[in-house]
Amino acid sequence: MLDVWAFSTGTYASDRDRILPYWFALCAVLYMLPAIIACHRDHSHFFAIWVIDLLGTPLFLVGWVGALVWALIDPKRKRAQTAAQ
């Protein structure tokens, strides 16, 4: 478990404890990467991608991969670009 006292005082049991906050931050960003990409791209189905990412990833990794692919492909955005031309 995380030792809050160690993180607040700077006293660590080992070098492994020093990298734990960075490891957890990296895992959190990777976990929500499809939702971050969808939000950044202003995806038309952002909320659905976020829900699949949030609920589908812990149950099956397929949910994360599907959300990532869906975040990178936005058919409504593509249609709007072709209609503008």
Q: What digits encode the pLDDT tens for the residues 16-72? A: 777 888 888 999 999 999 999 999 998 989 999 999 988 887 777 888 999 999 999
How far, in Å, CA of 14 to CA of 16, rounded? Answer: 5
For 27-37, give one letter per residue: b (16+ CB within 10 A) or e. Answer: eeeeebbbbeb
The answer to whether 50 touches 41, Cβ cutoff 8 Å, is: no
pTM beyond cutoff 0.85: no
